Amino acid sequence: MAGYTRREIEAAIRSDGPWITVRNGVYCERIRISEGGSRDNWLLKDRAALLVARRPAVLSHDSAGRLLELDMLDVPVPGSHLTHRGPRGGRTNSGITRHRDLLPLCIEYVDGTAATSYARTAIDLARLHSFQHGLVAVDSARTKGVPLADLEAELDRMANHPHIAQARAAVKASDGGAESILETLGRQLVQELEIGDVETQFAVRLADGAIAWIDLRVGCHMFECDGLVKLIPVEDGGVASRPAAQVLRDERRREAEVCAAGVGMSRIYWNDLWGEARERALRRLRREYDLTVARYGRELPAHLRQFADEHPRRRRSRLWLPDALRRAA
């Protein structure tokens, strides 16, 4: 008990005490729970699951996704996930699912905590939950710098694992240009229109010489995915470094300059993705796309295609690379 008596522990975990029980026999300071967000709270439970594990294990599935900061969709029954070495299978009790696998695992370490690799984690999320869960996770892994070849190699290694076809479909449909969950699901929405191939991160020159990378493009029509995170200040968990009114004004100015290049534009919002609103959004997007076709045609002008090809979106990989590979990249 790390030097504490049972009476001292019981006093510390009272409702007004300084500690809180994370899992049976594992405690943390109460302030870490009250101030931490949902992901932080779950990471405490995930690490506690490792501490109470009776056999060597690593975080996997949802737990690994949280540790590796992959984008993930919510699941109906959240929990902690560990993977042990052993014949395939799994069982769940006390909020912990213990998976077993005889394949050697590629491991990532984050702050000293071991988890399955980015590629393996994204594939496991697809196998465990659904194609859509997997697509979001695989897109996120690719955006962070995981090569498509790594994902395909992991699929080949796991060829006989349950629900691997679901994961294979997610990898095949993935795109390294999605920078958020909304952009992944927005791409699915546009693909549902069946109006042509969807290109991500399409570069357009603005009037001041700056470059705008548009989330999605089909023909002469652009689609921007607008989440509230753009309007929420950084200190509150968003990405806005300016007042919301200024962000909105700049977005409208940017849209006008992009459209001045001879293209149309639609906006996709989170609420457009679900239920009856999805059907309304599909009808709206189709009308807006048809107006663009009537005005500019279906074929992208050659000078816009050339500019975009000359200015691909470049992101610094967030993943560690050995020095030799880093120089080669």
Which range is least confidently modeled, 164-178, 206-220, 234-248, 259-273? 234-248
pLDDT at 325: 40
Question: What does pLDDT average to over the chain?
Answer: 88
Is the model's pLDDT at 269 over the cut of 70? yes
pLDDT over 70 at 124, yes or no: yes
- Residue 296: predicted pLDDT: 96
pLDDT of residue 101: 94
Q: What percent of the chain shows pLDDT beyond 90?
A: 67
How far apart CA 191 and CA 207 sit, in angstroms, is 30
Q: What is the pLDDT of residue 177?
A: 96
Q: Which residue has the higher pLDDT, 56 or 249?
A: 56
d(CA 109, CA 114): 5
Q: Domain spanning 181-310 has what CATH number?
A: 3.40.960
User: Distance (Å, rounded) from C-alpha 165 to C-alpha 178?
Assistant: 22
Domain with CATH 3.40.960 in the chain: 181-310
pLDDT score recorded for residue 6: 76
The Cα–Cα gap between 34 and 20 comes to 10
DSSP letter assigned to residue 300 = P
Residue 318 has pLDDT above 70, yes or no: no
Mean pLDDT for 288-295 is 98
Cα 288 off chain centre by? 28
Q: How confident is the model at residue 20 (pLDDT cuts 50, 70, 90)?
A: confident
Average pLDDT over residues 294-321: 87
Mean of pLDDT values over 119-146:
97
Calpha distance 106→116 (Å, rounded): 6
The number of beta carbons lying within 10 Å of the beta carbon of residue 278 is 15
Residues 7-23 have a mean pLDDT of 72
Could you tell me what percent of the chain has a pLDDT over 70? 86
In the predicted structure, residue 255 carries a pLDDT above the cut 60: yes
Signed CA dihedral, 112, 116, 119, 122: sign only: negative
Please, what is the end-to-end C-alpha distance for the chain in angstroms?
Answer: 49
Note the pLDDT of residue 102: 92
* DSSP line for 35-92: HS-HHHHHHHHHHHHHHH-SS--EE-HHHHHHHTT------SS--EEEEEESSSEEEE
Residue 4's pLDDT band, with cuts at 50, 70 and 90, is confident
Closest to 181 in 3D by CA, of 219, 147, 229: 229
Whether residue 109 has pLDDT greater than 60: yes
Band of the pLDDT at 147, cuts 50, 70, 90? very high
Does the pLDDT at position 300 exceed 60? yes
Whether pLDDT at 230 is above 80: no
SS3 253: helix
Residue 245 vs residue 34, higher pLDDT: 245
**For position 25, what pLDDT does the model report?**
73
Six-digit token pair at 259? 């459209």
Q: Check residue 122 and give its pLDDT.
A: 98
pLDDT score of 159 more than 70: yes
